[in-house]
Structure 1
Amino acid sequence: MDHLRYSGLPFETQRAAFLDVVSKDVLLHDALARARRLALPDWLVVSGVLYNSVWNHLTGKPSGYGIKDVDLFYFDDSDLSYEAEDAVIRRAAKHFQGLPLPVEVRNQARVHLWYPQKFGRPCPRYTSSSESVRFFASKTHAVGLRYDADGQLELVAPFGLDDVFSFRITPNRVMDNRRTHEVKGARAKANWPEITVVPW
């Protein structure tokens, strides 16, 4: 099996292949359909569950292999309290019951409030779920997916998809996220030995 068959191809070809793979993945299809019904403002399923599903497909691994959770972002700056986000998290926990993976729900309008305490450095105040994806530690991880108003899958991929299809984890040095890049890179390589981790 040629796992690199989409590497280096034009973005539109890679985009079509990406959407084809993720739309046929049963686990991901269910997660996206449920996220759509939950209807959070500016919602976006991001990161691992997406690119890991593509890697599983291209290396012949089962759906869900190596995937820790489903990351679901939303953006709501009408109430930045912990309590408001916690209420959404608890509502989502009920909504996603029965899905084989846990769902991590985070309001991207609040990240700048808790990030400095958790990571010891500041974080920009994001203006949308899509904007926050640009600040992931690795460019490879910067992918998001949602349904648009017409029910079509909308892809957010600020750095393109070539890193995903090239099995290459490339650092995103926009913030000092070296440790996250290295830890996630090592974990990915343990599950998909085909991966190359580009040093920070």
Structure 2
Amino acid sequence: MYIRNESDIIRLIEHDRWMMDILHHAKSLDLPDWWICAGFVRSKVWDELHGFTIRTQIPDIDVIYYDPSDLNEETEKRYEERLRVLYPTIPWSIKNEARMHIGNNVLAYESSTDAISKFPETASALGVKLDSNDHLILTAPHGIHDVIHLEVRPTPYFLENQLTTLYEERIRKKDWKSTWTKLKIFYF
């Protein structure tokens, strides 16, 4: 499949039963402003663009939500446990973005999409969820150009806040190019 636009990414995910099952399980928690983000979307796109027929393993399924009324980390752990009961083979990671600014030592996020916009790389600043009618929605605060053109670069937030050293450390640690050889990594 050639990926040209957001509709192509949505169709790609909609035709993946495993991904749709995961999305339905996450939706069952009824979390406010929830998304499954980062590698869940990015890896699917990169696998497709590399012609892989077997899914690349991802270390976890990042479910985020935004609830400023409950900043207790234990609440996140309870949600993870609920999902583990429903789908025990998935490495769930659930985070309330209303509290993540504390650990990241940055200004508070305004929403889950605001948090996604401040992820390290534009190709990872993606999220998907199901709306109330089970239609798939994609958020891409920096667009999809980089992910569909196999380009990895820091988000404007990382550039503006001079976090390029963290970005570069993350790129080295993730070593994505060893899996997705067509990637173009940009350093600053």
Instruction: Identify the residue that residue 138 of structure 1 maps to in structure 2.
Output: 121
Supply the distance in 1 between the matched residues of 2:177 and 2:57 (Cα, whole angstroms).
Answer: 10
Structure 2: stretches of 5+ with no match in the other structure: none
Q: How many Å separate the matches in 2 of 1:30 and 1:179? A: 37
Computed over aligned residues only, the root mean square deviation of the Cα atoms, in angstroms, reads 2.0
- Normalized against structure 2, the TM-score is what? 0.87
**Residue aligning to 1:118:** none
Match for 1:27 among 18, 22, 44? 18
Q: Which ranges in structure 1 are unaligned for 5 or more consecutive residues?
A: 7-12, 116-121
Confirm or deny that 1:178 pairs with 2:142: no
Q: CA deviation at 1:180?
A: 4.2
Residue 97 of structure 2 is aligned to residue 108 of structure 1: yes
Pairing of 1:1-200 with structure 2 (within 5 A): 5-6=2-3, 13-98=4-89, 101-115=90-104, 122-175=105-158, 176-186=162-172, 187-200=175-188
Does the 8 Å CA contact 1:27/1:64 hold for their aligned counterparts?
Answer: no
Mapped partners of 2:18, 2:166: distance in 1: 26
Identify which range, 154-163 or 170-179, moves more after superposition: 170-179
Percent of aligned positions that are identical: 26
TM norm structure 1: 0.82
In the superposition, relative to structure 1, how do residues 66 and 193 fare at CA in structure 2: closer, same or farther (>3 Å)? farther
One-letter code aligned to 2:70: D
Paired residues in the alignment total 183
Q: What's the CA shift string for 1:110-134, capped at 9, x where partnerless?
A: 112222xxxxxx2121121111001
- Check 1:184–1:162 CA distance in 2 against 1; reply closer, same or farther (3 A cut): same
